[in-house]
Structure 1
């Protein structure tokens, strides 16, 4: 750590200390942290269920998921002083399980090794000038597209959780069954949360989740049961701790998987942080915290962590400092003792917050120059492909590849930087490799 980084670390600690003395700020950040936690709490159940298909015992990956999230949030709070929640990413855990293990035939131990190598590269990028070069190489129109695309993705997730949309028989999506109790509960929660939001009620998102959850419990509306696990099972946790298998590190499949996972981690995290961070000056530290936690997740026995898009819920609730992340991290720690109780917070209670947050993020569309096709079409690809493919990295890839192509086609290659060419080439390579894996 150089003198500048040490000075920044000291400054962050001083700002955090001052923040703890501000009672109003503490209240706002506390509510934001709790809101953010509940918005992403489903990961405690969903991530182990996905990793189960890779062969990792569900009763053990629950602990890995919680501990990785706890460490990540504390690191984000104390190191970066940013209101961002780190948890195992939903896109990267699917790549970990269904591409690396199921499709490529590697073991979950090898997948953990791949995760650690990719994360180590991520750490190198985060702690060098490469991160600044790559961040500076992202055109403003694409940054706006990333934020709006993630917002639309959140809206889609929220609508699915509310069961307001479902897979259609004669179309991709169809309206859900509005007679279902869970759907009606979600609609109630959406109306309540919108009312509280429009009235600028402090902690409106959290109140909406709490009231909707209580009504759900009273009417017996409950989601799929949590994994059957108790705190006593933590004694077996060493079975997945530091189990990465590097025996085939020089094989073609291992190297290709590392490249693709690195692309997902670096640019998905960069896109998310660029999209949701209220203070751009905290990007570098937040990016570094994300990289370190991603590496530690492999040691802990779970797929890599990334900045959760649901952090936007915490930010919209007033989160502006690392206290928000610290509170969310502590909530993850407490959840170790109450894992089964999390299932009593129905998806219908979380859905309204995710839908509204996603809608708010889409206001970034106003920053895209709609009169310049070479500007807005690449952003458009990002916006639509992120939710349609349920992959942030895929949306980014198409947008970043299309941007230089359209600028060159328009005879405006002079507007492109070296970083833009490099990013386009890297994403093109990622698309090709993804097709081959």
Structure 2
């Protein structure tokens, strides 16, 4: 396996396979979960499940071969929820236009991945605001998960209130949520997929959904969503902030994931000029997003679950290739995936939200200035309250810039912040 330079990275085929299997088990949940989330936006679930499996296979193989890193890729959690519940259901944008937005953000990411823009934009935004954005997305998708499970419901008096915990579906969701927390707390490999499986079995036993009559079938056709994106409708000044949101959020997500995983595998070392792996992984991520929009799914990104494979010893792209090959099996699991009760799926959103929200703990609010505190507060609060990642990010940048200008702390305002604040103002100006 000279292509993957196994000796250089002190690994072997057996170790890379074990790592690939570990990554596969920890992120296999994305196929049914993404199917449920995008189906809520009106996309056919059967086609979405097949498309999710396909883009995971293609993007992960491409990433492994192109960058020679153990990074697996699939449809990103958070942005898929924003796509369905923020854009399609919230802003009443047709899912075809939504895919056009994903395509355009991906094209921009491809172009920028071959330039220094990604470094410029990341260094322009204060680290603490980046952490707040991650935490805000966490609250947003956790809120969606709780709502979809019926654990919180609309209330004319208080906007939201607790749901009816006497309903069997709500009780199943509660069981699934507790189970997921317990499994994850014990650091079990494949905690998410185990939780979905056990909760589904409990649901089937109590008549909440029907158990599958068969486990395997031929893959469903993706023709109902393949190349059904509407790019022309997405080219609109009013949708520019949304395109930028997808672009910037994907960059945050990818760079955050690669930084965390890279530190464990001694990858992406910025002080090594010969190390092009970060650049190549970003390029693979961007190209995968464009490809995913053509297949009919939302933004594709590097998966943090790749860390499990790294912990198992994965160090090269061979790990990613093995992961991708194992994902081929999910193409034939449609009967099993379709029989999963929805409330066995939505607890995963809540737990992923908790994990993302933990980024807020890295902000030392006793030492940061008031502008950062206020911006972080609005970012985290407004994402779930307005059902929009865009609104939260925009409000945060506007508040940050206004306070900095009032306090005459212009040294903290750079061209990147000014550009993002201007785009943020467009979000509210162009709401009509």
TM-score in terms of structure 1 length: 0.75
In 1, Cα distance between equivalents of 2:294 and 2:33: 22
Counting matched residue pairs gives: 404
Q: Pick from 270, 282, 288 the counterpart of residue 251 of structure 2.
A: 270
In 2, Cα distance between equivalents of 1:318 and 1:164: 34
Unpaired runs of at least 5, structure 2: 263-267, 269-276
Question: Structure 1 residue 91 and structure 2 residue 82: aligned?
Answer: yes
In 2, Cα distance between equivalents of 1:315 and 1:107: 29
> CA offsets, 1:125-166, max 9 Å, x none?
122111111111120110110221122223223323443222
Which residue of structure 2 lines up, in the alignment, with residue 143 of structure 1? 130
Aligned in 2, Cα 1:20/1:380: closer, same or farther, shift over 3 Å?
A: farther
Which residue of structure 1 lines up, in the alignment, with residue 164 of structure 2? 177
> CA offsets, 1:288-332, max 9 Å, x none?
2232122223433x2542438xx55x3686766678866765565
1:33–1:323: 8 Å Cα contact kept in structure 2? no
Q: Which has the higher helix share?
A: 1
Task: Give 3-state SS (helix, strand or coil) of 2:125's partner.
Answer: coil
State the Cα distance separating 1:266 from its structure 2 match.
Answer: 0.9
Question: Structure 1 residue 390 and structure 2 residue 405: aligned?
Answer: no
2:132–2:380: 8 Å Cα contact kept in structure 1? yes
Q: Pick from 191, 194, 202 the counterpart of residue 178 of structure 2.
A: 191
Which residue of structure 1 lines up, in the alignment, with residue 141 of structure 2? 154
Task: Give 3-state SS (helix, strand or coil) of 1:212's partner.
Answer: helix
What is the 5 A alignment of 1:41-120?
A: 41-48=32-39, 50-52=41-43, 60=47, 63-79=50-66, 81=69, 83=71, 85-87=73-75, 89-92=80-83, 97=88, 108=96, 116-120=103-107
1:48–1:62: 8 Å Cα contact kept in structure 2? no
Aligned in 2, Cα 1:357/1:75: closer, same or farther, shift over 3 Å?
A: same
Which residue of structure 2 lines up, in the alignment, with residue 335 of structure 1? 330
State the Cα distance separating 1:240 from its structure 2 match.
Answer: 5.7
Which residue of structure 1 lines up, in the alignment, with residue 282 of structure 2? 287
Greater shift, 147-156 or 330-339, is seen at: 330-339
In 2, Cα distance between equivalents of 1:304 and 1:275: 19
Q: Pick from 318, 341, 349 the counterpart of residue 346 of structure 1.
A: 341
Aligned in 2, Cα 1:173/1:296: closer, same or farther, shift over 3 Å?
A: same
Task: Give 3-state SS (helix, strand or coil) of 1:41's partner.
Answer: helix
RMSD (Å) for aligned C-alpha atoms: 4.0
TM-score in terms of structure 2 length: 0.76
In 2, Cα distance between equivalents of 1:256 and 1:16: 49
Unpaired runs of at least 5, structure 1: 1-9
Which residue of structure 2 lines up, in the alignment, with residue 374 of structure 1? 371
